[in-house]
Amino acid sequence: MNLVFICDPERYPHADNDIPVCYKAAARDPRIDLFHLPVAHVTGADEIDVVPVETGVLSHEAFLNLNMAPRRVMPVASVDVMFCRTLKPFPEGHLDRLGRWIGKTRFLNHPLNKKIQISAGFLSQLAPDYTPETIVTGDASSLDAYLARHGVVVAKRPNSTNGLGVYKIWREDGRYRTDHVHEGVRDFPDGRALLAYVRGEWDAVELVRFLPRVTAGDKRVVVVGGDIYGAYIRRSASGHWVHNVSSSDSLCYPAEVSDFERQAVAATVPLYRDYGFHTLGYDFLLNDDGRWLISEINVGNIGGIARLEQLTGESFMDRFLDWIVSFAERPAYDVAAVGLRKSGRR
Ligand SMILES: Nc1ncnc2c1ncn2[C@@H]1O[C@H](COP(=O)(O)OP(=O)(O)O)[C@@H](O)[C@H]1O
Ligand SMILES: [Mg+2]
């Protein structure tokens, strides 16, 4: 089968990162002809400029240099499966350009529906029973009302990752304060000024009740094709409330998946599948009542498979590749038509 991975390899200097580990496993697999597509070569044209990856051992150095390796032209229609691992925030027009290939190839995650999925409020609308209280607003009076109700809240920007668009907000001595993993604590005279800062270029953000037991860490549950592969907890060694692996000094521990978390996955997987999303990275945070609630569901470029291998010694990457091979055998409409119907929703 012809498998195309899209990413910019130089973003992954560490050989144990999920993306290089996945490239290397796919390169070794005799069932797979692996091709690399640099992010800048996602043009939407019917022919693509890909780097064929030789079957066998892919060294980390060769991985890092893939964007400069010799390329060849190939029709999109001859690609069985495309897996986009572009990092958020996506380049302008990236998802639309990928979207021109819908119907010509199979995507592990429907690129046009991704536009809907990364918009504010998507998850909390789909899964209110499994997420902390959330509103979407850019308005200072709604912020005041939400702060009065919950005391401390978290604002989240859309299209963000690694804790970079996440701000803790509270009131103190008549002032408004925020805390951000890199920008630290800031002080504002009123809610309007604070919102202008946390919104950035966006009209609205998600406001979520702050979960004080976040100190327990952030539980990642890796779900592929509806199957739970496993879970681990990331916790910042310094005790910072932001636990993402790449934004802090976080440590990882293997974790169990409770019945409640399985219910949360079972309730959301079919909804995400209807949008054409098949590789999911759930982030759960500990609620006051001892249950873990879904903080976000990452779609597409999920990390965790390589981490699960490190933590458990089991070969999850092989399981993932087996699943990709079976995905390539599905009728194309199975993975394209459903998504197309839904993409016009907003
Ligand atoms: N409601 C919340 N209460 C407390 N901490 C939160 C909350 N939401 C997010 N966080 C913290 O911010 C981190 C990143 O949040 P997340 O929603 O996973 O966004 P990202 O896409 O940046 O990973 C989490 O790991 C957690 O430490
Ligand atoms: Mg997260």
Instruction: Look up the CATH number of the domain holding residue 196.
Output: 3.30.1490.20
Q: What sign results for the dihedral spanned by CA atoms 242, 246, 250, 256?
A: positive
| CB neighbour burial string for 190-209, b if at least 16 within 10 angstroms, e if fewer | ebeebbebbbeeeebbbbbb
pTM of model > 0.85? yes
Q: Assess whether the C-beta atom of 211 lies below 6 angstroms from ligand 1.
A: yes
Q: Assess whether the C-beta atom of 161 lies below 6 angstroms from ligand 1.
A: yes
| Predicted local distance difference test score (pLDDT) of residue 88 | 87
Q: Assess whether the C-beta atom of 35 lies below 6 angstroms from ligand 1.
A: no
Cα distance between residue 40 and residue 7, in whole Å: 9
Q: Is the pLDDT of residue 334 over 80?
A: no
Q: What sign results for the dihedral spanned by CA atoms 119, 123, 126, 131?
A: negative
Cα distance between residue 207 and residue 139, in whole Å: 11
Cα distance between residue 228 and residue 316, in whole Å: 11
Radius of gyration of the chain (CA): 21
179 φ/ψ angles, rounded to the nearest 5 degrees: -135, 135
In this structure, the answer to whether residues 52 and 83 fall within a common structural domain is yes
Confidence bin at 153 (pLDDT 50/70/90): very high
Instruction: List, in order, residues 6 or more apart from 24 with CB less than 8 Å away.
Output: 57, 58, 60, 63
- End-to-end CA distance of the chain: give it in Å, rounded: 35
In this structure, the answer to whether residues 150 and 225 fall within a common structural domain is no
* Least confident among 20-29, 258-267, 319-328, 332-341: 332-341
Q: Assess whether the C-beta atom of 160 lies below 6 angstroms from ligand 1.
A: yes
Kindly report the number of other CB atoms within 10 A of residue 226's CB atom.
Answer: 14
Task: Please check whether residue 244 lies inside any domain of the structure.
Answer: yes
Q: Which residue's CA lies nearest to atom 13 of ligand 1? A: 242
Task: Please check whether residue 97 lies inside any domain of the structure.
Answer: yes
In this structure, the answer to whether residues 199 and 222 fall within a common structural domain is no
Cα distance between residue 89 and residue 92, in whole Å: 9
CATH number of the CATH domain containing 35: 3.40.50.20
Between the CA of residue 297 and those of 185, 282, 321, what are the distances in Å? 27, 4, 21
Q: Collapsing DSSP states into helix, strand and coil, what is residue 162?
A: coil
Ligand 1: centre distance to CA 225 (Å): 24
What is the count of structural domains for the chain? 3
Q: Assess whether the C-beta atom of 295 lies below 6 angstroms from ligand 1.
A: yes
| Predicted local distance difference test score (pLDDT) of residue 160 | 83
Q: Collapsing DSSP states into helix, strand and coil, what is residue 179?
A: strand
Q: Assess whether the C-beta atom of 248 lies below 6 angstroms from ligand 1.
A: no
Task: Please check whether residue 345 lies inside any domain of the structure.
Answer: no
Q: Which residue's CA lies nearest to atom 1 of ligand 1? A: 210
Which of 273, 258, 251, 246 lies closest to 221 in space, CA to CA? 258
Mutate to test the pocket of ligand 1, among 218, 234, 282 (most ligand atoms within 8 A of CB): 218
Ligand 1: centre distance to CA 6 (Å): 26
- For residue 166, the enclosing domain spans 133-210
In this structure, the answer to whether residues 24 and 99 fall within a common structural domain is yes
Query: Are 85 and 63 in contact, with CB atoms under 8 Å apart?
Result: no
In this structure, the answer to whether residues 172 and 236 fall within a common structural domain is no
Which of 210, 235, 255 is where one domain is finished? 210
CATH number of the CATH domain containing 260: 3.30.470.20
Q: Is the pLDDT of residue 343 over 50?
A: no
Q: Is the pLDDT of residue 345 over 50?
A: no
Task: Please check whether residue 337 lies inside any domain of the structure.
Answer: no
Per-residue pLDDT tens for 194-217? 999 999 999 999 999 999 999 999
Task: Please check whether residue 95 lies inside any domain of the structure.
Answer: yes
In this structure, the answer to whether residues 105 and 12 fall within a common structural domain is yes
Task: Please check whether residue 72 lies inside any domain of the structure.
Answer: yes
Between the CA of residue 314 and those of 232, 303, 304, what are the distances in Å? 14, 16, 13
In this structure, the answer to whether residues 161 and 181 fall within a common structural domain is yes
In this structure, the answer to whether residues 185 and 196 fall within a common structural domain is yes
Task: Please check whether residue 266 lies inside any domain of the structure.
Answer: yes
Task: Please check whether residue 328 lies inside any domain of the structure.
Answer: no
Which of 183, 210, 237 is where one domain is finished? 210
Per-residue pLDDT tens for 278-292? 999 999 999 999 999
In this structure, the answer to whether residues 178 and 233 fall within a common structural domain is no
Q: Which residue's CA lies nearest to atom 2 of ligand 1? A: 210
Cα angle 202-124-255, degrees, rounded to a multiple of 5: 110
Mutate to test the pocket of ligand 1, among 214, 291, 301 (most ligand atoms within 8 A of CB): 214
**Quick one: tokens of 91?**
């380049």
Atom of ligand 1 minimally distant from the CA of 132: 1
Q: Give the DSSP H/E element, type plus range, for residue 222.
A: strand 218-224
| Predicted local distance difference test score (pLDDT) of residue 238 | 86
In this structure, the answer to whether residues 83 and 159 fall within a common structural domain is no
Per-residue pLDDT tens for 232-272? 999 998 889 999 766 557 799 999 999 999 999 999 999 99
Decide the pairing of beta strands 2-7 and 33-38. Answer: parallel
Instruction: List, in order, residues 6 or more apart from 39 with CB less than 8 Å away.
Output: 6, 7, 8, 86, 91, 94
Atom of ligand 1 minimally distant from the CA of 211: 3
In this structure, the answer to whether residues 9 and 108 fall within a common structural domain is yes
Between the CA of residue 260 and those of 30, 179, 266, 293, 296, what are the distances in Å? 39, 31, 10, 9, 16
Mean pLDDT of the chain: 93
* Least confident among 148-152, 155-159, 314-318: 155-159
Q: Assess whether the C-beta atom of 302 lies below 6 angstroms from ligand 1.
A: no
Q: Which residue's CA lies nearest to atom 26 of ligand 1? A: 242
| Predicted local distance difference test score (pLDDT) of residue 339 | 45
Between the CA of residue 190 and those of 17, 146, 231, what are the distances in Å? 42, 14, 41
In this structure, the answer to whether residues 205 and 221 fall within a common structural domain is no
Per-residue pLDDT tens for 294-311? 999 999 988 899 999 999
Atom of ligand 1 minimally distant from the CA of 164: 22
Query: Which residues, listed in sequence order, are joined to residue 38 by a DSSP beta bridge?
Result: 7
Ligand 1: centre distance to CA 60 (Å): 31
Which of 184, 210, 236 is where one domain is finished? 210
Confidence bin at 331 (pLDDT 50/70/90): confident
Decide the pairing of beta strands 250-255 and 227-236. Answer: antiparallel
178 φ/ψ angles, rounded to the nearest 5 degrees: -130, 155
